[in-house]
Amino acid sequence: MLPNALVNILLVSLLGGTISVLCAAFFALRTQAHWIPVLVRYAIGAMLGAVFLEILPHAFELASSAENMAATVLFGILLFFILEKLVLWRHCHGDHCEAHAPHSESECEQAGHLGGKYRLAQQSQHSHHHDQGRSGMMIMLGDTFHNFVDGILIAAAFMLDERLGFVTSFAIIAHEIPQEVGDFLILLHSGYTRRQALLFNLYSSFATVVGGVIAFYALQTVSSWVPAILGLAAASMLYVAVADLIPGLHKRTELKATISQVGLIVVGITSVWLTKLVFE
């Protein structure tokens, strides 16, 4: 009989990955672009709530010292900054790339500020007809690795505490939906059919299961790594929320948009708090 933690890891990884891909397919394939910014704002709140209400408190409690955990989070933020720079460098071609190309406010809003993915999709459609499919496959490879790491984070959280596992999984899934929408946009603009885009995203999501299972067995023998992994998980979510998603919200400065943004972020944080109460 499988241990409870492993069963939870398998269920959350399989169901979470499938649900996020199917929800993303609904919004991307039905062109419900006006919903994407709503999902992103909610995801920001869910990630911030998970970091500050669950992951960091557990990580500091387990760490050998507060200074070591703070250093781990700092290292994680710097690491993700470097990784993102490498990804942007890989996609750049001179001065015309996702990092340098000008973009309108409406494009940013409709794309849900997906870390430049929409701009890369537009680039592949209008400027790189000779390179169709390449950008889509690069994104899929990157997201497969990202999903694998998500599986490791989910496993580490479940092995420490069931409630922490569900809260961490909830925040990851909330962020995955708008990210998967960006994946669909790139694959469609790179020449893939809707069926191919759906299947590739589903295949990529299975990496979460692989990462979770490997981490479950590895962390049983190296349990001292769990605090560090939780610290890196917190750094990952903080970086995505603060560096990738929140800056896009500043494109809309009017009072009504600001109230909507703050309201949805609070809803995301509240969802994490309610999730905590359910699994207490």
pLDDT in tens, 112-156: 444 444 444 444 444 444 344 555 666 677 778 778 888 998 999
Residues 6+ apart with CB under 8 A from 35: 27
Residue 235 pLDDT > 70? yes
Compute the distance between CA of residue 190 and CA of residue 218 in angstroms, rounded to an integer: 38
Q: How many CA atoms lie within 13 A of 3 on its CB side?
A: 11
Residue 62 pLDDT > 70? yes
What would the two tokens of residue 88 be? 């942007």
Kindly tell me the burial class for residue 64, based on how many C-beta atoms sit within 10 Å of its own C-beta (0-12, 13-18, 19 or more): exposed
How many Å from the N-terminal Cα to the C-terminal Cα in the chain?
Answer: 25
Q: Looking at per-residue confidence, does 7 or 24 come out higher? A: 7
pLDDT for 95 equals 40
| Mean local confidence (pLDDT), 230-256 | 86
| Mean local confidence (pLDDT), 31-47 | 77
Other CB atoms within 10 Å distance of the CB of residue 220: 11
DSSP H helical ranges for 127-193? 134-160, 162-189
The pTM for the full model equals: 0.69
Residue 186 pLDDT > 80? no
What would the two tokens of residue 62 be? 């387990």
Compute the distance between CA of residue 271 and CA of residue 171 in angstroms, rounded to an integer: 9
Mean pLDDT estimate for the chain: 77
pLDDT for 134 equals 54
